[in-house]
Chain A
Amino acid sequence: MPRLPKLPAPPLPGALKTPPPRPGEGGARTPVEEAANAGITVVDWVDERTSLSGAARWMMFRKVPKGTNWFYTLGSATMFAFLSQAVTGVFLAMYYRPDPSGGAYESIRYVTNDVFLGQFVRGMHKWGSSVMVILVFLHMGRTFFFGAYKYPRELNWVIGVVLLILTMTMSFTGYLLPFDQRAYWATVVGVNINGTGPLLGPYLSDFLRGGSEFGATTLSRFYAIHMLLVPGLLAALIGFHLYLVAKLGTTAPPWMKAQTPEELREAEV
């Protein structure tokens, strides 16, 4: 088996390569240089104690196959949609009250009409959820049509399916929170759809409602699932998904032909 070529040295910025001059050397420096040196010192101090730069290099400076194109950005796009949902969701939670006797609707009305930029942040969260679902499906389609789910990446496909289900859970539980007519009836219908599964369905719908009828704890239950339970799982699984991408590398598009390495090409002719 031919030896694989060594990875080239990572293209670090020049400032990171040379150690800062010792104290007293180099004479008078400008404030800009001083500030740059301070930054380097801090980064070095952290890196000496954590060795994080190796992990960062491992993650950021990977070889990618020839033919990598814009379709390969759909996964990152999905992740940024998730991050946007997480950030806007945290700030919406500062105003939201999961109170089914009118407080929930009132707090959403307050966010939308009275809070500075409230309509904008809520709109980002509301429309961003649709964007995220669309991006998840596009990313899934890219993986499927490029054959990127095959060995050794099957586990990453499985994790991706779990991430899809969790995204759908987020959409379902988030839909109730505005607590207007549409939210209420859509949730009634959605919970009853869960109930139509044979044998376990009735228990599942009771679990979602927190009882046999839509009750006082249904909304807080959905709120807890929406903002505590599922986001943590989503973030952890996205991390593992990304780790496997970095570990296994990406695939070439199916239309790229396999190429013989340079040193073997003559023998082939």
Chain B
Amino acid sequence: MADKHLKHKSKYTLDRGIPGAFEGETITRRRFMTASAHTTGAIAAGAFALPALGFAIGPIFKSTPHHWEVVGTKDMFTENNYVPVVLTLSPNIGEAGKSTAYVRQFNPEIDTDPYDKGTPYIAISSRCAHLGCPVRWVDAAERFICPCHGGVYDLLGRRVGGPPVRPLDRFYTRVNGENVEVGPRFSVNSELKRFSPRDPGEPLDGIGQYLYPSRPGAQKL
């Protein structure tokens, strides 16, 4: 305190004695004018800037409803080989909204993982877990191979070579009458434990699942 003899700080400003000040004014009219002008300006700027910003980043928080798509009949798929099917991830934009999944019947001899119990069909996404290029199933090698940066995956979609950070994503499947339906995508870690869908390039082992959180709009099945 500059003035230790002063018991109470005056609630009046030093300018209270200026000519033209009214009795009891606690703020100079100049300061009041400045502050109110700045406040008005800030409100006006915020009134258009904040909605525009929310408009631009809104899609991050939007949740998309689950969507099941018929990909074929039961007799199209076998236990030992994959059949490519085309899914529409984003409607109304033609080829750019489509993606490929590789589907086969559940095979108790190779799908020994407890998480796959009760899954009628295994549907593996063709989206490479490295940076999202389309992998293809090479029958002779019994591998999924990515054309962009050389990612290689085995029959179950687990990484066996190249830069990918986790196995290939999968889709939920169900049987509806004679039809096989493919539903929402999910991601798996190297033990095939299931996680809500992540983008390519985001590892799920160790602290990866915390460094790359799932999107706020992701819905549990």
On whether the two chains bind one another, the answer is: yes
Are B202 and A195 in touch, CB under 8 angstroms? yes
- Choose from A100, A192, A203, A209 the contact partner of B94 (Cβ within 8 Å): A100
Number of B residues contacting the other chain (C-beta, 8 Å)?
A: 30
With A100-B93, A216-B92 as known contacts, state yes or no: A211 contacts B201, CB within 8 Å. no
A217 CA to B94 CA, complexed, in Å: 13
In the assembled complex, how far is the CB of residue B127 from the closest CB belonging to chain A, in whole angstroms? 9
With A202-B212, A213-B89 as known contacts, state yes or no: A195 contacts B201, CB within 8 Å. yes
- Choose from A198, A205, A212, A215 the contact partner of B97 (Cβ within 8 Å): A215
For residue B133, CB closer than 8 A to chain A, the reply is yes
With A189-B133, A205-B199 as known contacts, state yes or no: A101 contacts B64, CB within 8 Å. no
Q: Within 8 Å CB of B217, what residues of A?
A: 212
Are A185 and B93 in touch, CB under 8 angstroms? no
Q: Within 8 Å CB of B202, what residues of A?
A: 195-196, 201-202
Q: Pick the interface stretch among B10-18, B38-46, B53-61.
A: B53-61
For residue A188, CB closer than 8 A to chain B, the reply is yes
- Choose from B89, B92, B97, B215 the contact partner of A202 (Cβ within 8 Å): B215
For residue B156, CB closer than 8 A to chain A, the reply is no
Number of A residues contacting the other chain (C-beta, 8 Å)?
A: 30
For residue A193, CB closer than 8 A to chain B, the reply is yes
B189-221 interface with A by 8 A CB criterion? 197-202, 211-215, 217-218
B139-170 interface with A by 8 A CB criterion? 148
In the assembled complex, how far is the CB of residue B63 from the closest CB belonging to chain A, in whole angstroms? 9
- B63 (CB) vs chain A CBs: closest residue: A212
- A188 (CB) vs chain B CBs: closest residue: B132
Are A217 and B59 in touch, CB under 8 angstroms? yes
For residue B29, CB closer than 8 A to chain A, the reply is no
With A193-B131, A195-B200 as known contacts, state yes or no: A211 contacts B59, CB within 8 Å. yes
Q: Within 8 Å CB of B94, what residues of A?
A: 100-102
A198 CA to B210 CA, complexed, in Å: 9
- A217 (CB) vs chain B CBs: closest residue: B59
Q: A100-B94, A192-B131, A215-B90 are in contact. List 13 more A-B contacts (CB 8 A).
A: A101-B93, A185-B148, A188-B133, A192-B201, A193-B131, A195-B200, A196-B201, A203-B60, A206-B215, A207-B60, A210-B59, A211-B59, A213-B89
